[in-house]
Amino acid sequence: MINYSNIFVKEGLTYQVYRNLIEEKLKAGETTGEDKTEAMLHYTKMNLHRMARVDKTVQLTEDFLNVLGDVKNKYNLLVISEGWCGDAAQLVPLFDKIVQASPAHFQLRLVLRDKYPELIDAHLTNGGRAIPVLLILNEQGMVLNKWGPRPALLSPLLSDWKKEEEDMFIVAEKLHGWYAKDKTQSSQLELTEIFRTLS
């Protein structure tokens, strides 16, 4: 049985530590996870730019801020991620914004997918280890809800792009183009409804 509280407290990285880790690995010619290919290094380098951009530009919607303002209890947000993951680069900064908006009620920690296979294997998406995965934990360490690895309406689009294109760099361009136009609005809409269930 997975001890989520233990992972959160002892193994989880703050957003800033996670960002620093990715930067340090890239400077050493590496990335997080098992795959150290040139493609993964390229994705990681681009993702640092993407995270910086989302950090500066994303703003929570008024509806989401109102929902966060209604939360009374404390919750831990545990995110399974990796530095090379394009979806994570677009979404992890959004999770950080949630905590910034309501620091008295939320804490964020990140763990690397490939370092904790038992954790991701308990939260597969259609049988795959897709990330990022956001787990909302109560103070007792129980998982109340899961979200990820991307907004629901993006998944079929991504599936179609992968059928149309053999070049994964082109698929990645389409993915990030979609995120750039969406400006986290679709993700925020889904997350607002999930966070509305918290008390």
Question: Cα dihedral sign for 103, 189, 54, 11?
Answer: positive
Closest among 56, 51, 55 to 85, alpha carbons compared: 51
pLDDT in tens, 35-91: 889 999 999 999 999 999 999 999 999 999 999 999 999 999 999 999 999 999 999
Residues written for the chain = 199
Cβ-contact 85, 33 below 8 angstroms: no
pLDDT digits (tens, 9 = 90+) for 17-29: 999 999 999 999 9
Give residue 70's region: left, alpha or beta (phi > 0; psi -120 to 50): alpha
C-alpha closest to that of 84 among 18, 156, 165, 135 = 18
Region of 126 (left: φ > 0; alpha: ψ -120 to 50; beta: rest) is left
User: What's the CA gap between 132 and 160, in Å, rounded?
Assistant: 20
pTM, rounded to two decimals: 0.95
Angle CA 191–197–199, to nearest 5: 120
Pairing of strands 106-112, 133-137: unpaired
CA 103 to chain centroid, in Å, comes to 18
For the residues 177-183, what does the mean pLDDT come to?
96
Q: What is the pLDDT of residues 145-173, one digit of tens each?
A: 999 999 999 998 889 889 999 888 899 89
- Strand 106-112 versus strand 75-81 pairing type: parallel
Domains of the chain in sequence order? 4-195 (3.40.30.10)
